[in-house]
Amino acid sequence: MRMIGQDLVDYVTNLRTRLDFVAQHAEVWTFDGFKALFMPRTDPMPDEASSGLGYHVGKLGLENEILALVYPDSRGTGYGMRRFNDDLRMEFTQCEEEADVHFAHARGFIAKTSSAEVDRLKELVSLAYRKV
pLDDT in tens, 6-42: 766 666 567 667 778 888 889 999 999 999 999 998 8
pTM: 0.85
pLDDT category, 64, cuts 50, 70, 90?
A: very high
Instruction: Say yes or no to pLDDT of 48 above 90.
Output: no
What sign for the dihedral angle of Cα 37, 86, 89, 74? Answer: positive
**Fold topology of 2-128:** Diaminopimelate Epimerase; Chain A, domain 1 (3.10.310)
Residue 23, sorted as left (phi over 0), alpha (psi -120 to 50) or beta, turns out to be alpha
Residue 108's nearest CA partner among 89, 123, 126, 121 is: 89
Sorted by where each begins, the domain ranges of the chain are: 2-128
